[in-house]
Amino acid sequence: MHHVPEQAKRDLLAVCRRLYERGLVAGTDGNVSLRISKDLLLATPTGMSKGALAAGDLVLCDLEGRPQGGTRRLTTEIKIHTAVYAAREDVCAVVHAHPPYATAFAVAGLTPSENMMPEAYLAVGKVALAPYGTPSTDELADSLRPFVRDYDAILLSNHGAVATGRDVVSAYHRMEALEQLCRISAIARQLGGARALNKAQIEQLEAIRGVYGTHDADAPCWNCGSPPHAPASDATGTGASPLRPAGPVTEAQVRDAARRVLRTLRAE
Ligand SMILES: [Zn+2]
């Protein structure tokens, strides 16, 4: 019998409840997983509302998606999750949902620009659009593979969205922030279009990137011990950036950077 940390179960259930309560999934849609060790995932079962899951409903599987414990049947979308973990040692949680605005972008074949708002730039990063694949099949997992290394937020054409993170709460926050970005993008389009942040404003955001996020990306994962690993892209929200400060950021640096960003925004 595998040991499952209580905190991992609690976090996973809390995220599932929030996905349902915030309307990011409907019916029995969506699935969530997190790494609890080097070769074991804790994941949601198939066919159950994310709003009414109990700890006993959660399922264990290995990194190939083979069931390893639990009384329920594993989510049929586990291949989405294993495709991500196989490519990203630094990712310890995956959230798949069908948020209305993000899915509307995915249905329209569009991606929102992350360069519109500071929060979206830092919390969501670049958004990819993966081609359509039939749910539960290798086709869907394969459609994601070209993007998982460089993106933490991926829209699935005509289907929904995937968000990844260092832990399940950060992956959830990224999904929520992605939905908010898509919602604001859609409204801005109705108002005549969004204005992008300029190069200097983006550089200043890069300077304060280190103070964002709910985890220490430079330390091994508290839960499964996975080592930190920077993805290739520098605009994904977790990637190493040439502009990112080398050491820990001090409060004074943050205040200074925030002042510079505000000054630039006001000058626009
Ligand atoms: Zn789905």
Torsion of CA 88, 90, 93, 96, to 10 degrees: -40
User: What's 6-190's CATH class?
Assistant: alpha beta
Q: Which residues participate in catalysis according to the annotation?
A: 77
The pLDDT tens digits for 67-125 are 999 999 999 999 999 999 999 999 999 999 999 999 999 999 999 998 999 989 999 99
Ligand 1 centroid – CA 171 distance (Å): 16
Ligand 1 centroid – CA 82 distance (Å): 15
The pLDDT tens digits for 177-195 are 999 999 999 999 999 999 9
The pLDDT tens digits for 197-242 are 999 999 999 888 876 654 445 566 767 777 765 543 434 344 333 3
Q: What DSSP character marks residue 254?
A: H
- Look up the pTM and report it: 0.82
Compute the distance between CA of residue 117 and CA of residue 160 in angstroms, rounded to an integer.
22
Residues in the 5 Å CB sphere of ion ligand 1: 160
In contact, 215 and 61? CB cutoff 8 Å = no
Dihedral sign (CA 202, 207, 212, 215): positive
Domain chopping of the chain, boundaries? 6-190, 199-267
